[in-house]
Structure 1
Amino acid sequence: MTETESIAYDVVVLGAGPVGENVADRTRAAGLSTAVVESERVGGECSYWACMPSKALLRPVIARADARRVPGLSHLVQGALDVPAVLAHRDHEASNWRDDGQVAWLEGIGADLYRGHGRLAGPRTVTVTGPEGEHRVLTARHAVAVCTGSRAQLPGLPGLAEVNPWTSREATSAQSVPGRLIVVGGGVVATEMATVWQALGSRVTVLVRGKGLLSRMEPFAGELVARTLTEAGTDVRLGTSVESVRREGGTVVAVTGSGDRLEADEILFATGRAPRTDDIGLDTVGLEPGSWLSVDDTLRVRGSEWLYGVGDVNHRALLTHQGKYQARIAGEAIAARAAGVPLLETDPWGAHAATADHAAVPQVVFTDPEAAAVGLSLAEAERAGRRVRAVDVDLSSVAGAGLYADGYRGHARMIVDLDSEILLGVTFVGPGVGELIHSASVAVAGEVPVSRLWHAVPSYPTISEVWLRLLEAYRG
């Protein structure tokens, strides 16, 4: 092999996380030659530092919480969790941070993997610098797909660099339980990791700049999660900012906007995400390094005929399942254009349009209790100028909820467009509601009329009977 090797492909994919893998899968299924470039592990953030390890950590926490609410069982689960076993299970679900299995899958679909740092070097060209300093030039006949994801965004606080703070990566991969943990932020990462580490024995303080947790959901979701965290022993402080941090020996010292001094062994900043586009050569194709990529509904970067931005990098929905959905759309759009299809199905809900990104994005937060939502909240619908009605039901009134857990606490809301009588959004909060959200996604994405939903009969006695209660409340 020469020092610089040039190879042509139909498609070059930057990033081998779930999004890049799915783009490659769809283009390879269409018969296009595809190269995938990855600078870390094949499988990406989700497999090693996000979805898989975080849910592995949360599962025993939530299972114990659920069991403690079941008569005849609760007395058996009052002790502490087996921390080494929980962490070992997390390690297993993260494949012990080895990507052999993911590499084998990628090779199995016929894609070529290049390890190293990939950068655009002008139109349809990617240079790869390998781990040994070797250089390759990959050219794309049809498309380059940027699937490099996002990273934790840290604030510019005095003393932060010296503190060596946790981000989501350290929070999901830590090998021991900190005695005291400060969590800065009130979103998904903050609430899930506070749930985990408090249950594993850490004394957790959550500092939230805003008025509540999970601010992108209906207010009642964050309120119930905050209530349960507080009852479990977490110190949740709303309307609290961090002004500075430092380490004194092995202790982290954080000073709040009100002048309070807080001490901990570790501090986690869960304060947002930034695109991993700062060093991928965007400037060589006229784009701003470090920027989010603006794309159309086929995921093609606006103004380009060959560049695609798929997953977190386009900032449409920073969720693995939405990124994979986008990847399926993008892969098929790339294949259709490569085949010379004159008109793609880009109408709403067409095969080549990522319409769900606008109308039906689902999310589950795996806290105790779970919070799940799809579509618009009441505030979002009203800001959009829609004429809507919010319908609320206390989940404890549903027979299945009482059977699921003694003293079940939860709430449900659906947002109905009064002009079309279809659902614009649904939110559930309560134990076990994560498994309800796909039914809501089908109703919202399918634009199922309320009159038709009335004939979708929920099984008794399940928590899904909340659908009947919501419809009854709407009909009066």
Structure 2
Amino acid sequence: MPGTTTRTFDVVVIGAGPVGENVADRTTAAGLDTVIIESELIGGECSYWACDPSKALLRPALLHSDLRGVPGLERAADQALDTAAVFKHRDAMASEWDDSSQVEWLNQAGISLIRGHGRLAGPKEVTVTTPEGDVLLVTARHAVAVCTGTSAALPPLPDLDALRPWTSREATSAKAAPARLAVLGAGVVAAEMATAWQALGSQVTLIAREPGLLPRVEDFAAELVTERLRESGVEFRFDSGIAAAARRGGSAGSDSEFDAGSDSSSDSGEVHITLVDGTELVVDELLLATGRAPRTEDIGLETVGLKPGDWLATDDMFTVDEVAGEWLYAVGDVNRRALFTHQGKYQARIAGAVIAARAHRRPLDIRRWSRFVGTADRAAVPQVVFTDPEIASVGLTTAEAERTGQVVDVVDYEIGRVAGAVQYRTDYRGHARLVIDRRRQTVVGATFAGPGVAELLHSATIAIAGEVPVERLWHAVPAFPTISEVWLRLLETYRDSAAATL
């Protein structure tokens, strides 16, 4: 029988992704003895199966597309991508799925590590089942932080095990492009992976129950991406869905959910799909990009009065709402406030500071912190969709402003009319929109769609988070000739509109 050992720390962190690492870094730096518990790779989903490898696949595809609009480089765009080089770069960005450098960082930071599956066992207690089968009881003097993130939410298709679909993990780690790839979904993962794999040689068919792509962004941005994907050869089946799917022929393949770097060119059989309208498709792989679910099913929530599998609601200090005593924290995607790595790391910095302050009995200005956190985590959440073209957005969309009853002015400008955009590529297609609070005369939303617009986003985030008046923005002078000159054009358009009060 495996033995049981008890260890005690000031702070216990469950989950060693970027969020858990940042919580542990902040509490350790504040002098608290901290341990981090992880059952997979140190560095988490973002490092090995999401942010880093997906952008490594997408960047060559986007740059290849941009070449067509740069004088003197058009012929280079006619050459196919060197997929072997792209995959090699992707593997390097994912550290070859080796976390030794991350472990070294933990050691240098003075953070303890226990590998194994952590489960709450009651207030300030966590049991850890190690890979060797030993069971440790880890107790916290001050706090336990749940930073377990999310996993792919799968639709209720029958016989999913036999179907062996791709999730985002397989889509970012496959070693070869399937000849035919079906993508189920209309969100960011679906759009980005359709962009990447079409460029890498797959014939992509995107299936969505929604009437269009990217339903949560401004319509003009979604339309630009859809148009470009269609031009690249992606086929769309909107207002549709999958009624049935089955894999026929081929070997059983790997049962491992974590089979990083799998070779999709192996004989895995074909996937036969029946759509809701009776249409049949045959593809080599099916990617299910149908959302995310919290990784809380088996972390012992029932031992502290919570329901396994639920999202963990928190206050603005990231203390779990329904657990008394200010000892349990939920940080990052698992609290469903903003499912982005950058937001999770921001939350981790706040949570680490709060845990340290409470442990050292230092006063917290809760009202001040809540105001700032509420802005950063709700009103000014930035996002980049790395499609062709890119979409960079922060704050409210037009539809969200209307839905919440805010009185706003909407200002639009074609980015291709800016000199810096034409320098970027001669056939630049892009659009910018500001959503402005009419009463306060501050920007509450911004969306940019076009090549290279990701670098415009932080200026918009600062404008919203800082509640900078439009009158003051006039004195932030954009450099010429850059795409950022679109800010000046947007302000001029607003000044010239009847609604402006400048």
**Alignment TM-score > 0.5, same fold:** yes
Unaligned runs of 5+ in 1: none
Partner SS, residue 355 of structure 1: helix
| 1:417 aligned onto 2:437 | yes
Alignment of 1:49-448 (within 5 A): 49-249=49-249, 250-304=269-323, 305-347=326-368, 353=373, 355-448=375-468
Amino acid at match of 1:425: G
Query: 1:337 deviation in Å?
Result: 0.8
Aligned sequence identity (%): 61
Alignment CA distance shift 1:9-1:378 (3 Å): same
CA distance in structure 2 between the aligned counterparts of 1:442 and 1:384, rounded to whole angstroms: 22
Q: Following the alignment from structure 2 to structure 1, what is the Cα–Cα distance between the partners of residues 236 and 226?
A: 7
Aligned partner of 2:259 in structure 1 is: none
Do 1:329 and 1:354's aligned partners in 2 also have CA atoms closer than 8 Å? no
1: CA distance, partners of 2:171 / 2:313 = 30
Taking the aligned partners of 1:52 and 1:312, their CA distance within structure 2 comes to 17
CA contact (8 A) 2:181 2:205 kept: yes
CA distance in 2, matches of 1:348, 1:194: 40
CA distance in 1, matches of 2:357, 2:371: 13
What code does the residue aligned with 1:322 have?
Answer: Q
Contact 2:316 2:370 in 1 (8 A): no
8 Å contact kept, 2:338–2:378: no
Checking the alignment, whether the CA contact within 8 Å between 1:244 and 1:255 is kept in structure 2 is yes
Partners in 2 of 1:362 and 1:17 — Cα distance? 20
- 1:333, 1:344 within 8 Å by CA — same for their partners in 2? no
Question: How many angstroms apart in 2 are the aligned matches of 1:62 and 1:349?
Answer: 39
The amino acid across from 2:309 in the alignment is G
Name the SS of the counterpart of 1:347 in structure 2. Answer: helix
**How far 1:220 moved relative to its partner?**
1.1
TM-score normalized by structure 2?
A: 0.93
Q: Distance in 2 between matches of 1:223 and 1:183?
A: 18
Offset at residue 468 of structure 1 (A): 0.5
Q: How many residues of Structure 1 are paired with residues of Structure 2 in the alignment? A: 474
AA partner of residue 422 (structure 1):
T
What SS does structure 1 have at the residue aligned with 2:355? helix
Q: Distance in 2 between matches of 1:346 and 1:126?
A: 31
Give the 3-state SS of the residue equivalent to 2:446 in structure 1: strand
**d(CA) in 1 for partners of 2:494 and 2:97?**
49
- Matched residue type, 2:127: T
In the alignment, the residues of structure 2 paired with residue 211 and residue 457 of structure 1 have an alpha-carbon distance, to the nearest angstrom, of 40
Q: Does the residue aligned with 1:331 lie in a helix, a strand or coil?
A: helix
Pick closer, same or farther for the CA change 1:348–1:212 going to 2, 3 Å: farther
How far apart are the structure 1 equivalents of 2:436 and 2:200? 41
1:12 is the counterpart of 2:12: yes
Q: Is the 8 A contact 1:159 1:244 kept in 2?
A: no
Report SS of the residue matched to 1:178. Answer: coil
Between the aligned partners of 2:490 and 2:370, the Cα distance in structure 1 is 27
1:424 partner SS: strand
Q: Which segment drifts farther, 353-362 or 64-73?
A: 353-362
Aligned CA RMSD, in angstroms, stands at: 1.2
SS in 1 for 2:230: helix
Structure 1 stretches of 4+ moved >4 Å = 348-351
State the alpha-carbon separation in 1 of the partners of residues 443 and 235 from structure 2. 37
1:261 CA displacement: 0.3
Alpha-carbon offset, residue 347 of structure 1: 2.3
SS of equivalent to 1:136: strand
C-alpha deviations, 1:188-230, integer Å up to 9, x for none?
Answer: 1101111111001100000111121111111111111010000
